[in-house]
Chain A
Amino acid sequence: MARLELNNLHAEVADGDEKILEGVDLEVQSGEIHALMGPNGSGKSTTAKVIAGHPAYEITEGEVLLHLEENEFGDEVEIDEDQRTWDLLDLEPNERAALGIFLGFQYPAEIEGVTMTNFLRTALNAKIEEREELFEEEEGDEEEEDEGFETSPMEGDVDEGEVGVAEFQQILQEKMEQLDMDEKFAQRYLNAGFSGGEKKQNEVLQAAILEPSIAVLDEIDSGLDIDRLQDVSEGINALRDEQGTGILQITHYQRILDYVEPDHVHVMLDGQIAKSGGPELAEKLEDKGYDWVREDVYGTA
Chain B
Amino acid sequence: MSSEQDHLKDTDTEARFEFKKEQNAAVKSDKGLTEEVIRMISEDKDEPDWMLERRLRALEQYQNMPMPTDWPGMPDLSGLDVEEIVPYIRPDVDKREGVDDWTELPDEIKDTFDKLGIPEAEKNALSGVGAQYESEVVYQNMQEQWEEKGVIFMNMDRAVQEHPELVKEHFMTTCVPPSDNKFAALHGAVWSGGSFVYVPEGVTVEMPVQAYFRMNSEGMGQFEHTLIIAEEGSEVHYIEGCSAPKYGTHNLHSGGVEVFVGEDAHVQYSTVQNWSKNTYNLNTKRAIVESGGTMEWVSGSMGSKATMLYPCSILKGRGATDTHITIAFAGEGQDIDTGAKVYHNAPETSSTIESKSISKDGGRTNYRGLVHIADGAENSSTAVECDALMFDNESTSDTMPYMEIEESKVDVAHEATVGKIGDEDIFYLQSRGLDDDDAKKMIVAGFIEPITEELPIEYAVELNRLIELEMEGSLG
Contact = CB atoms under 8 A, between A and B. Distances in A.
A124 B445 CA distance: 18
A55 B428 contact: no
Contacts, number: 99
Contact of B442 (A54, A105, A119): A119
A194 to B, nearest CB: 13
B433 A124 contact: yes
A54 B427 contact: yes
Nearest to B446: A113
Contacts of B461: 149, 153-154
A108 interface: yes
Interface in A49-82: 52-56
Contact of B434 (A52, A123, A153): A123
Given A122-B442, A153-B457, A113 B433 contact: no
A241 interface: no
A102 B432 CA distance: 7
A94 B434 CA distance: 6
A113 B449 contact: yes
B56 interface: no
A81 to B, nearest CB: 25
Contacts of B442: 111, 114, 119, 122
B443 A111 contact: yes
Given A112-B447, A122-B442, A53 B435 contact: no
Contacts of A109: 422, 424-425, 427-429
A30 interface: no
Given A122-B434, A126-B433, A127-B433, A108 B457 contact: no
A126 B434 contact: yes
Contacts of B450: 113
A130 B433 contact: yes
Contacts of B448: 113
A208 interface: no
A259 interface: no
Interface in B414-428: 422-425, 427-428
A123 B431 CA distance: 9
A290 interface: no
A185 interface: no
B429 to A, nearest CB: 7
Interface of A: 52-56, 92-94, 96-98, 102-103, 105, 108-109, 111-114, 119, 122-124, 126-127, 130, 148-149, 153-154, 189-190, 206, 210
Given A92-B435, A111-B446, A123-B434, 20 more contacts: A55-B427, A56-B423, A93-B427, A93-B430, A93-B431, A94-B439, A97-B430, A97-B433, A109-B422, A109-B425, A109-B429, A113-B448, A114-B445, A119-B442, A130-B435, A148-B115, A149-B461, A153-B461, A154-B457, A189-B446
Interchain residue pairs A-B with the least CB separation, the first 3:
A113-B446, A113-B449, A93-B430
